[in-house]
Amino acid sequence: MAVSLRTRLVVIMVGLSLGMAVVISLSVLLSFRHLIKQHLLEELREEASDFSELVDFSGGKILIRQGADWLEPEHKYDSDHARYMVITDTLFNTVQKSANLGDRELQYYFDLHPEDHSRLIDSKADSIHFVCFIRPLTASSGVRYGYVLSATNTAQTSTYISILERTSVIVVVMAIFAGGLMAVFLARRITRPLMAIESIAAGMDLSSLDQRITVKSKEAEIKNLTKSLNQLFERLQRSVRQINEFSSNVSHELRTPLTILRGNIEVGLSRDRTPDEYVSLLSDLLEETMHVIKIIDDMLLLARADNRALMVKREPIDLAQFCMEFKKDWEIFCAAKKQPLTCTVSEGIRVEADRTMLYQMILNLISNASKYSPDGSEIEVSVLRTRSETGHSVEIRIADHGRGIPSDDLAKVFDRFYRVDKDRSQDSGGIGLGLSITKMIAELHGGQVSLESMPGKGTTVTVFLPEIFAR
């Protein structure tokens, strides 16, 4: 089961605040403990040092001067602040001890060793935690003759530490609580626009593609997501509109020749005919059938290209040879209107292309030039090398001196089934797929098409293709 983003965010943020609270509390606790220990060590060291001043060693005996130090309250009375002092010989036998020890022998609380000195020793005896500092006593001759022990119990510091420990636990619990509250608040804030977007997107279907997401958010990510989704809906809406237009165009374009076919068949069957009449009728039917097949072939070609299912069999083609080879075929298309076709091709220009597609692309353009130009008007095919932004390119230009295309229609003539109004009404024989196919073939070959036209003067269509060089 998928875990919701909201839950995940809450878990992550609570985990993070817990982790941070634990780390901070532990560091405070450990630093505090260390500081207290250092402070105690320093105090006991000073005490031991002060008392070592009261001790002399003479004639093999330890002599202790009595002074005010022995009478200070912390050495006299037993309390949490008491400092216990003992002066011992080298075997840890007491020579003198502070009054607050009474009958107790400080040495029994600790496991003392002659080598242990200048450090704190911990001991837990009589349920009290003691710490002790040992300072060796050394005569001027260098002989060690005893020790000063200074000790205290850690009851007070333990109280501080346990207060701090309890405070840390409270801090951690509060951090989890505060983190949880903040996490819920933030998770809601973050996911609210996402949920709004999701509910709009979930309710969308083909009939409501005109809807747009209008979630207001200050966050750049949400704004970008909203913008991208709205752009996606716009593209989908445009595509659906194009598909609808395409299907209605297809139906319309197929209906006309099929209606003609049916009419001709009905007329043919209405009475007995001579064999010659049947031959003429059948050739009319054949022509219409070829027209229907051409429409279907063109549509299939575009559909395959759209689905990336079109095989492009690329091969190196020398354009001068190619034009020489097919010029005669192209001339046939111009012959009916007695239009001369000229081919000007620079030598040595080669492209890598699918022969059949290249042929069809040029034929489409020559056929347009012928269709939309008057009888006897010249059609010029020229192939030249040009330097484009992407390096060397080949330009294949087909120019005519026909009626041209009105500027309002220029941007639309590459749309599928688009025909300039005049050509629809006059039925030029085209169905408005030629330029779409030309553009599709050029793009499949890494090229592009441009069109310039002056109404009344003529049209030039230029196909740009990448040139290949002999190795």
Which residues contact ligand ADP by CB under 6 A?
368-369, 372, 400, 402-405, 413, 418-420, 423, 428, 430-436, 459
Least distance to ligand ADP, CB of residue 334, Å: 12
> Is residue 431 classed exposed, middle or buried when 0-12, 13-18 and 19+ CB atoms within 10 A define those classes?
buried
**Placement of tokens 């009290």 in the chain:** 128
Q: How far is the CB of 328 from ligand ADP (least distance, A)?
A: 21
Amino acid found at 272: D
Quote the least distance from Cβ 273 to ligand ADP, whole Å.
33
| CA-angle at 281, arms to 279 and 284, nearest 5° | 110
Q: Name the residue among 111, 59, 65, 112 with its Cα closest to residue 90.
A: 112
**Which residue, 349 or 437, has its beta carbon nearer to ligand ADP?**
437
Q: Nearer Cβ to ligand ADP, position 94 or 428?
A: 428
User: Which stretches within 270-343 are classed as H helix?
Assistant: 275-306, 319-335
Nearer to ligand ADP, 32 or 417 (CB): 417
Bridge partners (DSSP) listed for residue 353: 315
Q: Which helix (H) or strand (E) holds 95?
A: strand 94-97
**Residue 268: CB minimum distance to ligand ADP, A:** 29
The least CB distance from residue 364 to ligand ADP, in Å, is 6
SS3 373: coil
Helix/strand/coil for 98: coil
Q: Put residue 102 in one of left, alpha, beta given phi > 0 → left and psi -120 to 50 → alpha.
A: left
In 3D, which of 428, 330, 414, 419 has the Cα closest to residue 380? 330
Cβ at position 436, least distance to ligand ADP in Å: 6
**Of residues 396 and 420, the one with the C-beta less far from ligand ADP:** 420
Please state the closest distance from residue 353 (CB atom) to ligand ADP, in A.
Answer: 20
Instruction: Write down the least CB distance from residue 372 to ligand ADP, Å.
Output: 3
Task: Indicate the residue among 151 and 369 with the shorter CB distance to ligand ADP.
Answer: 369
9: its two tokens: 């965010």
The label of the residue with tokens 């354009």 reads 319
Tell me the C-alpha to C-alpha distance, in Å, between residue 64 and each of 61, 73, 76, 106, 142.
10, 20, 17, 18, 19
- We find the least distance from the C-beta atom of residue 238 to ligand ADP, in angstroms, to be 20
The residue whose Cβ lies closest to ligand ADP is 430
Q: Which is nearer to ligand ADP, 12 or 411 (CB)?
A: 411
Sign of CA dihedral 41, 44, 46, 49: negative
How is residue 13 written in tokens? 């943020």
Question: First vs last Cα of the chain: how many Å apart?
Answer: 60
Q: Among all chains, which residue has been given the structure tokens 């395409």?
A: 246
Nearer to ligand ADP, 282 or 296 (CB): 296
State how far Cα 69 lies from the chain centre.
75
132 or 413: CB nearest ligand ADP: 413
Of the two residues 6 and 403, which places its CB atom closer to ligand ADP in the complex? 403
Distance of closest approach, residue 400 Cβ to ligand ADP, in angstroms: 5
Q: What is the spatial distance between Cα 259 and Cα 377, in angstroms, rounded to a whole number?
A: 34
- Provide the residue type at 292 as one letter: V
Which residue, 57 or 246, has its beta carbon nearer to ligand ADP? 246
Taking CA atoms, 427 is separated from 167, 262, 263, 421, in Å, by: 93, 19, 18, 10
Strand 341-345 with 379-388, pairing: parallel
Cβ closer to ligand ADP: 136 or 430? 430
As measured in angstroms, the least distance from the Cβ of 455 to ligand ADP is 9
